[in-house]
Amino acid sequence: MAFDVLAFHERAVRTPSHESVADMRSLLVDVLEDAGVNARIDEAGNVVARRGVGENPDDTSHLLLNTHLDTVPPHVPFERDGDIVQGRGACDAKGPLAAMVGAFLGADLDDGSVTLAVTPDEETTQTGAAHLAESLDTFDAAIVGEPTGLDVCYAARGQFEGQITLHGESAHASDPSDGTNAVRAIGPTIEAMDRYDAENGTAAHDTLGSPTLTPTMVEGGEAPNQIPAEVRITFDRRSVPPERSEEFPASLESHLREELSADIGVDVSLVRPDTPFPEAFETDPDAQIVEVLREAGGGAVPPFGAATEAAQFAVSAPTVVFGPGVLSDDEGPVAHSPREYVDRRDVERAADVLTGTVETMMA
């Protein structure tokens, strides 16, 4: 029986995966195995399947198709109005997933192989993608499914969060001079953050533009009549190549130490240093995978508008982001919003484009 892309998409959107991906993972595995393809769940919770290994796998092309099972909360129920499907995951990323499964199962493979690898935690820790990057066989190119409006996106800024801890000295508020008020360092710290890129020579990227460093939360103090000895400023960093997340805290900390008064201590750390962050990446826009996707019917070739686990694979091979749906439209946010939607015709179109791409890359 031929795989029905739209029927699978509807089942996927009806299956909540904002708290647990267990049901969604079972659905995907069952569909693949019903089609006669062996699917395994690896130790990181990824669903991995491969077709068309061939007689000499080391001498043939290997294409990776990747997207994710999980969605952000809360769950938004499935609704359909004509060709428009609304619901959580409709475009991020169950529309791309349906299109990829359709291409993976439907493409005729003359030579080479294609791997479908679907992660469980793209919206949170991205440990699944990190495991895939370390464990998969060598691949020649990767397509990562996200809502791009069917454009072929070859670059994206990185994204990570960190925390600046400012240390003063506690004292009774009746005599502020007895202590060092960490709250008073918040303003100078934010001003110093605004100067970070200019004073450290962080250049704007030709494709992705300038990085950003944005304070997002402030917390500190223990009592209204006590000089606070510690304040924490959480920040969001949107990086551009060649910056890497693991190098950033030390650089920012050094900058702040130079900018703040000597009686304020400063520590900068990543919010979750033991799990990967989506790094910035850029693929050559003239790479074969970009050209093949365009010739198969993909749209323009812009950078992607959000962070993505594509960076995990771009280290190893040319990687692009592609899929039906959009991050936002003229009315505002779409992906991750209560009005998340996708056009069923775009899901079908994405499946056709991906099928043509797989067949061309394997020819």
Catalytic pick from 122, 197, 279, 282?
122
| pLDDT score recorded for residue 110 | 83
CA–CA gap between residue 77 and residue 10 (Å, rounded): 11
Say which CATH number the domain at 229 has. 3.30.70.360
- Range of 331's domain? 5-156+280-362
- In the chain, how many domains are there? 2
Query: Are 338 and 262 within one domain?
Result: no
Query: Are 233 and 123 within one domain?
Result: no
Asked if residue 275 is part of any domain, the answer here is no
CB count, 10 Å around CB of 178? Answer: 12
DSSP 171: E
Task: Give the CA count within 13 Å in the CB-facing half-sphere of 122.
Answer: 27
Query: Are 198 and 288 within one domain?
Result: no
List C-alpha distances in Å: 329 to 44, 113, 147, 274: 34, 36, 12, 35
CA–CA gap between residue 303 and residue 83 (Å, rounded): 27
Query: Are 307 and 260 within one domain?
Result: no
Query: Are 122 and 144 within one domain?
Result: yes
| pLDDT score recorded for residue 203 | 86
Say which CATH number the domain at 305 has. 3.40.630.10
| pLDDT score recorded for residue 64 | 98
Longest dimension (CA), the chain: 81
Token look-up 């099972």 returns 69
Query: Are 144 and 264 within one domain?
Result: no
Asked if residue 257 is part of any domain, the answer here is yes
Q: Is position 282 annotated as part of the catalytic site?
A: no
Asked if residue 136 is part of any domain, the answer here is yes
Query: Are 110 and 151 within one domain?
Result: yes
- The length of the chain is 363
Ramachandran bin of 352, using left for φ above 0, alpha for ψ from -120 to 50, beta for the remaining angles: alpha
Q: Which of 216, 251, 270 is the last residue of a domain?
A: 270
Query: Are 46 and 125 within one domain?
Result: yes
| pLDDT score recorded for residue 202 | 82
CA–CA gap between residue 3 and residue 21 (Å, rounded): 22
Asked if residue 179 is part of any domain, the answer here is yes
Query: Are 162 and 152 within one domain?
Result: no
Query: Are 242 and 252 within one domain?
Result: yes
Query: Are 164 and 117 within one domain?
Result: no
**Joined tokens for residue 265:** 């201590």
Residues of the chain with pLDDT under 50: none
Token look-up 């494709």 returns 207
CA–CA gap between residue 363 and residue 357 (Å, rounded): 10
Q: Is position 70 annotated as part of the catalytic site?
A: yes
Q: Which of 270, 292, 309 is the last residue of a domain?
A: 270
H or E element at residue 116:
strand 113-119
